[in-house]
Structure 1
């Protein structure tokens, strides 16, 4: 299977994929596209959570997603992989306008987090039934 076919397959949001590739091969672009594709299927952007290992990666992915969404006022790019991102961003912004998501005005609605951040979010939203504070050791 060639590279583009694998990238297209990875955008099938009904399946899970592991993306392994060397630095500079377009992993972040593919993750951006997959995140945008998931946003085209949800009722609220908070329903989609992307997680990664480092804050730097969170910042980069967030920047890529926001940049893609902001780029829809520009001419369509010539590179095929950039066209995919552009087309997905247009669809997301159309959905955002229909549903009043206001993602560009309120980027915190995009849930892109580290694994630790996701764990903290879950534990803060679903505290234990007893509300016990852990003992200090």
Structure 2
């Protein structure tokens, strides 16, 4: 597997690890999209743009639905057959997030491979549910 399958780790002040994909269309996520079409993507309402602070940068308010007074979800993911409204493409062929730089922490924390190069079990579940083959481990240098 090539190094473009590795994510870019961004450690937050509070210790959470966010992951970004390298630029380009050759990362495994660019031909997957299973997670966007399998899980409910819920997150704290404070992440919604214009939420708690007027100048907040975050998930566009027109892309979310309320779940509780404190939690929201990406529209389209809180249904029997989830499909995030921000997902563009076709599962298993081409995929991208229309709000990638404004995605929620739930999406930012979702990784494909862990620090040892092992596939994320949740990613494997989403891939299987969408009829995609499992990922294999990658070599981390």
Q: TM-score, normalised by structure 2?
A: 0.25
Structure index of larger Rg? 1
Greater helix fraction, Structure 1 or Structure 2: 1
Q: TM-score, normalised by structure 1?
A: 0.25
Greater strand fraction, Structure 1 or Structure 2: 2
